[in-house]
Structure 1
Amino acid sequence: MTGGDTIINISDVLEYLFCPRFIYFMHCLDIPQHEESRFKVLKGREVHEQKRITNPEYLRKKLGVVRKELNVFIASKKNHIKGIVDEVLFLDDGTAAPFEYKFAEFKDKIYQTYKFQLVLHAIMIQENYNINVKKGFICFTRSNNRIEEVNFTEKDLKRGIEIINEILDIIDKGFYPGKTKNKNKCLDCCYSNICM
Protein backbone atom coordinates (compact mmCIF):
# COMPACT_ATOMS: atom_id res chain seq x y z
CA MET A 1 0.00 0.00 0.00
CA THR A 2 1.32 3.43 -0.94
CA GLY A 3 0.85 6.62 0.97
CA GLY A 4 2.86 6.51 4.17
CA ASP A 5 1.66 9.60 6.04
CA THR A 6 0.69 11.54 2.92
CA ILE A 7 -2.92 12.73 2.85
CA ILE A 8 -4.28 14.24 -0.35
CA ASN A 9 -7.24 16.57 -0.88
CA ILE A 10 -10.26 15.97 -3.06
CA SER A 11 -9.00 18.95 -5.10
CA ASP A 12 -5.81 16.95 -5.86
CA VAL A 13 -7.98 14.27 -7.44
CA LEU A 14 -9.78 16.85 -9.59
CA GLU A 15 -6.41 18.25 -10.73
CA TYR A 16 -5.14 14.72 -11.44
CA LEU A 17 -8.18 13.89 -13.54
CA PHE A 18 -7.68 17.15 -15.47
CA CYS A 19 -4.02 16.24 -16.07
CA PRO A 20 -1.78 13.93 -13.97
CA ARG A 21 1.17 16.31 -14.32
CA PHE A 22 -0.60 18.90 -12.13
CA ILE A 23 0.18 16.67 -9.16
CA TYR A 24 3.87 16.49 -10.10
CA PHE A 25 4.23 20.27 -10.54
CA MET A 26 2.23 21.11 -7.39
CA HIS A 27 3.54 18.45 -4.98
CA CYS A 28 6.95 17.34 -6.25
CA LEU A 29 8.22 20.68 -7.60
CA ASP A 30 6.12 22.81 -5.22
CA ILE A 31 4.99 25.18 -7.99
CA PRO A 32 1.54 26.60 -7.13
CA GLN A 33 -0.94 27.11 -9.94
CA HIS A 34 -2.46 30.44 -8.75
CA GLU A 35 -6.02 29.43 -9.45
CA GLU A 36 -7.26 32.31 -7.26
CA SER A 37 -7.43 34.62 -10.25
CA ARG A 38 -9.66 32.30 -12.27
CA PHE A 39 -13.17 33.76 -12.42
CA LYS A 40 -15.00 30.41 -12.26
CA VAL A 41 -13.08 29.36 -9.16
CA LEU A 42 -13.94 32.58 -7.34
CA LYS A 43 -17.55 32.48 -8.52
CA GLY A 44 -17.80 28.84 -7.46
CA ARG A 45 -16.59 29.70 -3.96
CA GLU A 46 -19.12 32.51 -3.79
CA VAL A 47 -21.93 30.14 -4.81
CA HIS A 48 -20.86 27.62 -2.14
CA GLU A 49 -20.86 30.33 0.51
CA GLN A 50 -24.28 31.56 -0.65
CA LYS A 51 -25.76 28.04 -0.48
CA ARG A 52 -24.21 27.55 2.96
CA ILE A 53 -26.03 30.52 4.45
CA THR A 54 -29.38 30.39 2.64
CA ASN A 55 -32.02 28.12 4.11
CA PRO A 56 -29.90 25.48 5.86
CA GLU A 57 -33.12 23.85 7.15
CA TYR A 58 -34.34 23.02 3.65
CA LEU A 59 -34.62 19.27 3.01
CA ARG A 60 -35.04 17.81 -0.47
CA LYS A 61 -38.12 15.65 0.12
CA LYS A 62 -38.23 14.59 -3.57
CA LEU A 63 -34.83 12.94 -3.11
CA GLY A 64 -36.01 11.12 0.02
CA VAL A 65 -33.89 13.20 2.42
CA VAL A 66 -34.72 12.78 6.11
CA ARG A 67 -31.68 14.62 7.51
CA LYS A 68 -28.63 16.43 6.23
CA GLU A 69 -25.32 17.85 7.44
CA LEU A 70 -23.77 20.90 5.76
CA ASN A 71 -20.13 21.66 4.91
CA VAL A 72 -18.79 18.46 6.39
CA PHE A 73 -15.01 18.12 6.72
CA ILE A 74 -14.34 14.44 6.18
CA ALA A 75 -11.22 12.29 5.96
CA SER A 76 -10.15 8.70 5.43
CA LYS A 77 -6.92 7.77 7.17
CA LYS A 78 -7.07 4.33 5.58
CA ASN A 79 -7.28 5.78 2.05
CA HIS A 80 -5.13 8.90 2.63
CA ILE A 81 -7.72 11.47 1.53
CA LYS A 82 -9.64 14.41 2.99
CA GLY A 83 -12.08 17.04 1.79
CA ILE A 84 -15.26 18.97 2.43
CA VAL A 85 -18.65 17.67 1.32
CA ASP A 86 -21.18 20.43 0.60
CA GLU A 87 -23.96 18.29 2.08
CA VAL A 88 -24.20 14.76 3.44
CA LEU A 89 -27.77 13.61 2.85
CA PHE A 90 -29.34 10.83 4.92
CA LEU A 91 -32.05 9.14 2.86
CA ASP A 92 -35.28 7.37 3.78
CA ASP A 93 -33.92 4.01 2.51
CA GLY A 94 -31.24 3.99 5.24
CA THR A 95 -28.38 5.06 2.95
CA ALA A 96 -26.50 8.35 2.70
CA ALA A 97 -25.43 10.43 -0.32
CA PRO A 98 -22.98 13.26 -0.99
CA PHE A 99 -24.50 16.42 -2.51
CA GLU A 100 -22.32 18.95 -4.37
CA TYR A 101 -23.02 22.37 -5.84
CA LYS A 102 -21.30 23.21 -9.12
CA PHE A 103 -21.08 26.70 -10.61
CA ALA A 104 -21.65 25.16 -14.03
CA GLU A 105 -24.28 24.43 -16.64
CA PHE A 106 -25.50 20.88 -17.15
CA LYS A 107 -24.48 19.82 -20.65
CA ASP A 108 -26.17 16.41 -20.86
CA LYS A 109 -23.24 14.56 -19.30
CA ILE A 110 -21.53 14.13 -15.97
CA TYR A 111 -17.80 14.77 -16.28
CA GLN A 112 -15.35 12.28 -14.73
CA THR A 113 -14.08 14.97 -12.35
CA TYR A 114 -17.59 15.51 -10.94
CA LYS A 115 -18.34 11.79 -10.75
CA PHE A 116 -15.12 10.87 -8.95
CA GLN A 117 -15.43 13.76 -6.53
CA LEU A 118 -18.75 12.19 -5.47
CA VAL A 119 -17.27 8.66 -5.49
CA LEU A 120 -14.47 9.72 -3.12
CA HIS A 121 -16.95 11.53 -0.89
CA ALA A 122 -18.97 8.29 -0.85
CA ILE A 123 -15.91 6.26 0.23
CA MET A 124 -15.23 8.70 3.09
CA ILE A 125 -18.89 8.89 4.17
CA GLN A 126 -19.10 5.07 4.28
CA GLU A 127 -15.96 4.88 6.40
CA ASN A 128 -16.86 7.71 8.79
CA TYR A 129 -20.60 7.15 9.23
CA ASN A 130 -20.59 3.36 8.78
CA ILE A 131 -23.48 3.72 6.33
CA ASN A 132 -24.04 2.50 2.78
CA VAL A 133 -23.66 5.05 -0.05
CA LYS A 134 -25.03 4.04 -3.46
CA LYS A 135 -25.35 7.42 -5.18
CA GLY A 136 -24.62 11.12 -5.03
CA PHE A 137 -26.15 14.32 -6.37
CA ILE A 138 -24.85 17.38 -8.23
CA CYS A 139 -26.69 20.69 -8.33
CA PHE A 140 -25.83 22.71 -11.46
CA THR A 141 -26.36 26.28 -10.30
CA ARG A 142 -26.08 27.75 -13.81
CA SER A 143 -28.84 25.46 -15.12
CA ASN A 144 -31.53 26.76 -12.78
CA ASN A 145 -30.22 24.59 -9.89
CA ARG A 146 -30.86 21.39 -11.84
CA ILE A 147 -30.08 18.29 -9.76
CA GLU A 148 -28.52 15.21 -11.37
CA GLU A 149 -28.30 11.85 -9.63
CA VAL A 150 -25.10 9.83 -10.05
CA ASN A 151 -25.24 6.12 -9.18
CA PHE A 152 -22.10 4.28 -8.05
CA THR A 153 -20.99 0.74 -8.89
CA GLU A 154 -18.42 -1.35 -7.01
CA LYS A 155 -16.14 -0.72 -9.97
CA ASP A 156 -16.46 3.08 -9.45
CA LEU A 157 -15.51 2.76 -5.77
CA LYS A 158 -12.55 0.54 -6.67
CA ARG A 159 -11.41 3.00 -9.37
CA GLY A 160 -11.66 5.85 -6.83
CA ILE A 161 -9.15 4.10 -4.57
CA GLU A 162 -6.89 3.30 -7.56
CA ILE A 163 -6.85 7.02 -8.47
CA ILE A 164 -5.80 7.92 -4.91
CA ASN A 165 -2.97 5.37 -5.09
CA GLU A 166 -1.81 6.69 -8.48
CA ILE A 167 -1.62 10.21 -7.01
CA LEU A 168 0.25 8.97 -3.91
CA ASP A 169 2.73 7.22 -6.22
CA ILE A 170 3.51 10.51 -7.98
CA ILE A 171 3.92 12.40 -4.69
CA ASP A 172 5.83 9.77 -2.71
CA LYS A 173 8.11 8.55 -5.52
CA GLY A 174 8.52 11.83 -7.44
CA PHE A 175 7.21 9.95 -10.48
CA TYR A 176 6.76 12.15 -13.61
CA PRO A 177 3.47 11.00 -15.18
CA GLY A 178 2.26 11.21 -18.75
CA LYS A 179 0.13 14.24 -19.57
CA THR A 180 -3.54 14.47 -20.49
CA LYS A 181 -4.56 13.05 -23.87
CA ASN A 182 -6.87 16.03 -24.38
CA LYS A 183 -4.67 18.64 -26.09
CA ASN A 184 -7.32 21.38 -25.58
CA LYS A 185 -6.58 21.30 -21.84
CA CYS A 186 -2.97 22.31 -22.61
CA LEU A 187 -4.03 25.59 -24.26
CA ASP A 188 -5.16 27.27 -21.04
CA CYS A 189 -2.79 25.44 -18.68
CA CYS A 190 -0.75 27.45 -16.15
CA TYR A 191 2.09 24.88 -16.46
CA SER A 192 2.32 24.85 -20.28
CA ASN A 193 5.61 26.79 -20.27
CA ILE A 194 7.39 24.15 -18.15
CA CYS A 195 5.60 20.99 -19.30
CA MET A 196 7.57 18.86 -21.80
Structure 2
Amino acid sequence: MTLTPSHIIEYLFCPRFTYFEYVLCIPQHEDANYKVMRGRTLHDERLDRNKDYLRKRLGRPGAPVTDKHLDQYLTNELMRGVVDEVLEFGDGSMAPLDYKFAEFKDRVYSTYETQLYCYAWLIETNFNRPVDRGFLVYTRSNNRVVELPITDANKGDVKRAAEAIFSIIDRNFFPKATKAKSRCVTCTYRNVCIK
Protein backbone atom coordinates (compact mmCIF):
# COMPACT_ATOMS: atom_id res chain seq x y z
CA MET A 1 0.00 0.00 0.00
CA THR A 2 1.12 3.54 -0.78
CA LEU A 3 -0.54 6.80 0.19
CA THR A 4 -1.94 9.63 -1.92
CA PRO A 5 -1.80 13.36 -1.19
CA SER A 6 -5.43 13.05 -0.05
CA HIS A 7 -4.33 10.69 2.75
CA ILE A 8 -1.80 13.27 3.95
CA ILE A 9 -4.37 16.08 3.80
CA GLU A 10 -6.91 14.00 5.73
CA TYR A 11 -4.30 13.09 8.37
CA LEU A 12 -3.33 16.74 8.81
CA PHE A 13 -7.04 17.64 9.10
CA CYS A 14 -7.30 15.12 11.95
CA PRO A 15 -5.22 11.98 12.63
CA ARG A 16 -8.41 10.12 13.54
CA PHE A 17 -9.52 10.40 9.90
CA THR A 18 -6.79 7.86 9.08
CA TYR A 19 -7.96 5.56 11.87
CA PHE A 20 -11.63 5.53 10.86
CA GLU A 21 -10.99 5.15 7.14
CA TYR A 22 -8.00 2.79 7.05
CA VAL A 23 -8.06 0.85 10.34
CA LEU A 24 -11.82 0.49 10.85
CA CYS A 25 -12.50 0.67 7.07
CA ILE A 26 -15.44 3.07 7.41
CA PRO A 27 -15.69 4.74 3.98
CA GLN A 28 -16.35 8.39 3.41
CA HIS A 29 -18.65 9.23 0.52
CA GLU A 30 -17.10 12.10 -1.40
CA ASP A 31 -18.41 11.04 -4.84
CA ALA A 32 -21.68 12.86 -4.14
CA ASN A 33 -19.80 16.14 -3.74
CA TYR A 34 -20.44 18.26 -6.85
CA LYS A 35 -17.21 20.26 -6.60
CA VAL A 36 -15.10 17.11 -6.34
CA MET A 37 -16.74 15.54 -9.39
CA ARG A 38 -16.69 18.78 -11.41
CA GLY A 39 -13.03 19.27 -10.54
CA ARG A 40 -12.16 15.81 -11.84
CA THR A 41 -14.01 16.43 -15.11
CA LEU A 42 -12.36 19.83 -15.54
CA HIS A 43 -8.94 18.32 -14.83
CA ASP A 44 -9.34 15.90 -17.74
CA GLU A 45 -10.57 18.70 -20.06
CA ARG A 46 -7.61 20.96 -19.19
CA LEU A 47 -5.07 18.23 -19.85
CA ASP A 48 -6.55 17.55 -23.27
CA ARG A 49 -6.61 21.26 -24.13
CA ASN A 50 -3.10 22.12 -22.88
CA LYS A 51 -1.04 19.22 -24.22
CA ASP A 52 1.08 21.38 -26.51
CA TYR A 53 1.13 24.57 -24.42
CA LEU A 54 4.45 25.28 -22.72
CA ARG A 55 4.20 27.87 -19.92
CA LYS A 56 7.33 29.79 -20.81
CA ARG A 57 6.53 32.80 -18.63
CA LEU A 58 6.84 30.65 -15.49
CA GLY A 59 10.59 30.33 -15.96
CA ARG A 60 13.23 32.41 -14.21
CA PRO A 61 15.90 34.57 -15.88
CA GLY A 62 18.37 32.12 -17.38
CA ALA A 63 16.10 29.17 -16.53
CA PRO A 64 13.14 29.06 -18.91
CA VAL A 65 10.60 26.25 -18.99
CA THR A 66 12.13 23.72 -21.39
CA ASP A 67 9.70 20.81 -21.22
CA LYS A 68 6.71 19.38 -19.39
CA HIS A 69 5.27 15.98 -18.56
CA LEU A 70 1.47 15.70 -18.54
CA ASP A 71 -0.70 13.65 -16.21
CA GLN A 72 2.43 12.15 -14.66
CA TYR A 73 1.93 9.13 -12.38
CA LEU A 74 4.71 9.05 -9.78
CA THR A 75 5.40 6.82 -6.80
CA ASN A 76 7.99 6.23 -4.09
CA GLU A 77 8.22 3.88 -1.11
CA LEU A 78 5.42 5.67 0.79
CA MET A 79 3.36 7.69 -1.67
CA ARG A 80 1.81 7.80 -5.14
CA GLY A 81 0.11 10.54 -7.12
CA VAL A 82 -0.74 11.92 -10.54
CA VAL A 83 0.66 15.40 -11.20
CA ASP A 84 -1.25 17.45 -13.78
CA GLU A 85 2.00 18.88 -15.19
CA VAL A 86 5.64 18.46 -14.21
CA LEU A 87 7.62 21.42 -15.57
CA GLU A 88 11.32 21.26 -16.41
CA PHE A 89 13.49 24.38 -16.23
CA GLY A 90 16.76 25.30 -17.92
CA ASP A 91 18.64 25.28 -14.59
CA GLY A 92 17.84 21.57 -14.06
CA SER A 93 15.08 22.13 -11.51
CA MET A 94 11.49 20.94 -11.85
CA ALA A 95 8.10 22.00 -10.47
CA PRO A 96 4.58 20.62 -10.13
CA LEU A 97 1.67 22.51 -11.71
CA ASP A 98 -1.83 21.62 -10.52
CA TYR A 99 -5.23 22.76 -11.82
CA LYS A 100 -7.86 23.76 -9.26
CA PHE A 101 -11.58 24.10 -9.98
CA ALA A 102 -11.65 27.13 -7.68
CA GLU A 103 -11.51 30.91 -7.51
CA PHE A 104 -8.41 32.62 -6.15
CA LYS A 105 -9.42 34.75 -3.16
CA ASP A 106 -6.07 36.25 -2.14
CA ARG A 107 -4.99 33.21 -0.15
CA VAL A 108 -3.91 29.67 -0.85
CA TYR A 109 -5.56 26.91 1.20
CA SER A 110 -3.21 24.72 3.21
CA THR A 111 -4.67 21.64 1.48
CA TYR A 112 -3.46 22.98 -1.88
CA GLU A 113 -0.01 23.69 -0.42
CA THR A 114 0.22 20.19 1.06
CA GLN A 115 -0.69 18.64 -2.28
CA LEU A 116 2.12 20.57 -4.00
CA TYR A 117 4.58 19.49 -1.25
CA CYS A 118 3.60 15.86 -1.88
CA TYR A 119 4.12 16.29 -5.60
CA ALA A 120 7.49 17.99 -5.04
CA TRP A 121 8.67 15.01 -2.96
CA LEU A 122 7.48 12.57 -5.63
CA ILE A 123 9.18 14.55 -8.42
CA GLU A 124 12.50 14.68 -6.54
CA THR A 125 12.32 10.94 -5.81
CA ASN A 126 11.52 9.96 -9.41
CA PHE A 127 13.53 12.47 -11.45
CA ASN A 128 16.38 13.08 -8.98
CA ARG A 129 16.06 16.81 -9.67
CA PRO A 130 15.53 19.69 -7.21
CA VAL A 131 12.06 21.18 -6.66
CA ASP A 132 11.85 24.54 -4.87
CA ARG A 133 8.50 25.85 -6.11
CA GLY A 134 5.14 24.79 -7.43
CA PHE A 135 2.23 26.34 -9.32
CA LEU A 136 -1.55 26.37 -8.92
CA VAL A 137 -3.89 27.27 -11.78
CA TYR A 138 -7.24 28.62 -10.55
CA THR A 139 -9.60 27.76 -13.40
CA ARG A 140 -12.52 29.80 -12.03
CA SER A 141 -10.35 32.96 -11.89
CA ASN A 142 -9.45 33.13 -15.59
CA ASN A 143 -6.76 30.45 -15.15
CA ARG A 144 -4.79 32.62 -12.77
CA VAL A 145 -1.40 31.06 -11.95
CA VAL A 146 -0.05 31.35 -8.40
CA GLU A 147 3.55 30.39 -7.61
CA LEU A 148 4.40 28.92 -4.20
CA PRO A 149 7.84 28.33 -2.69
CA ILE A 150 8.59 24.76 -1.58
CA THR A 151 11.30 24.09 1.00
CA ASP A 152 13.08 20.95 2.15
CA ALA A 153 11.20 21.37 5.45
CA ASN A 154 7.85 21.25 3.58
CA LYS A 155 8.83 17.99 1.88
CA GLY A 156 10.12 16.60 5.19
CA ASP A 157 6.80 17.40 6.90
CA VAL A 158 4.94 15.41 4.24
CA LYS A 159 7.28 12.44 4.66
CA ARG A 160 6.84 12.48 8.46
CA ALA A 161 3.05 12.62 8.04
CA ALA A 162 3.20 9.59 5.72
CA GLU A 163 5.27 7.68 8.28
CA ALA A 164 2.78 8.61 11.04
CA ILE A 165 -0.14 7.35 8.91
CA PHE A 166 1.55 3.98 8.42
CA SER A 167 2.22 3.83 12.15
CA ILE A 168 -1.51 4.31 12.88
CA ILE A 169 -2.49 1.65 10.33
CA ASP A 170 0.20 -0.91 11.24
CA ARG A 171 -0.36 -0.62 15.00
CA ASN A 172 -4.19 -0.17 14.90
CA PHE A 173 -3.48 2.93 16.96
CA PHE A 174 -6.32 5.29 17.93
CA PRO A 175 -4.69 8.76 17.79
CA LYS A 176 -5.64 11.95 19.55
CA ALA A 177 -8.17 14.10 17.72
CA THR A 178 -7.28 17.42 16.19
CA LYS A 179 -7.01 20.36 18.58
CA ALA A 180 -8.99 22.48 16.09
CA LYS A 181 -12.46 21.42 17.26
CA SER A 182 -14.17 23.56 14.61
CA ARG A 183 -13.10 20.88 12.10
CA CYS A 184 -15.33 18.34 13.84
CA VAL A 185 -18.45 20.17 12.63
CA THR A 186 -17.86 19.23 8.98
CA CYS A 187 -16.06 15.91 9.51
CA THR A 188 -17.65 12.90 7.81
CA TYR A 189 -16.79 10.82 10.91
CA ARG A 190 -18.29 13.14 13.54
CA ASN A 191 -21.10 10.68 14.36
CA VAL A 192 -18.71 7.83 15.23
CA CYS A 193 -15.88 9.77 16.84
CA ILE A 194 -15.39 9.94 20.60
CA LYS A 195 -15.22 13.66 21.36
Would the TM-score normalized by the shorter structure come out above 0.5?
yes
Matched residue, 1:93: 91
Matched residue, 2:154: 156
User: Contact 2:5/2:114 (CA < 8 Å) preserved in 1?
Assistant: no
4+ residue runs over 4 A deviation: none
Question: Secondary structure of 1:15's match?
Answer: helix
Is 1:35 the counterpart of 2:30 in the alignment? yes
User: Contact 2:117/2:158 (CA < 8 Å) preserved in 1?
Assistant: yes
**1:91-111 superposed Cα distances (whole Å, 9 cap, x missing partner):** 122210011111122222222
Alignment of 1:121-140 (within 5 A): 121-140=119-138
**1:75-100 superposed Cα distances (whole Å, 9 cap, x missing partner):** 012xx111111111111222100111
Matched residue, 2:111: 113
**What is the TM-score of this pair, normalised by structure 2?**
0.91
Inter-partner Cα distance in structure 2 for 1:146 and 1:181: 34
Question: Secondary structure of 2:162's match?
Answer: helix
* Paired positions, count: 189
Matched residue, 1:73: 73
Specify every segment of 5 or more residues in structure 1 that has no aligned partner in the other structure, as ranges.
1-5
Using the TM superposition, give the Cα deviation of residue 115 of structure 1 relative to its aligned residue in structure 2, in angstroms. Answer: 1.2
Inter-partner Cα distance in structure 2 for 1:145 and 1:185: 30
Is 1:193 the counterpart of 2:175 in the alignment? no
User: Contact 1:135/1:149 (CA < 8 Å) preserved in 2?
Assistant: yes
Question: Secondary structure of 1:36's match?
Answer: coil
Specify every segment of 5 or more residues in structure 2 that has no aligned partner in the other structure, as ranges.
60-64
Matched residue, 2:17: 22
**What is the TM-score of this pair, normalised by structure 1?**
0.90
**1:5-30 superposed Cα distances (whole Å, 9 cap, x missing partner):** x4212221121122222111110001
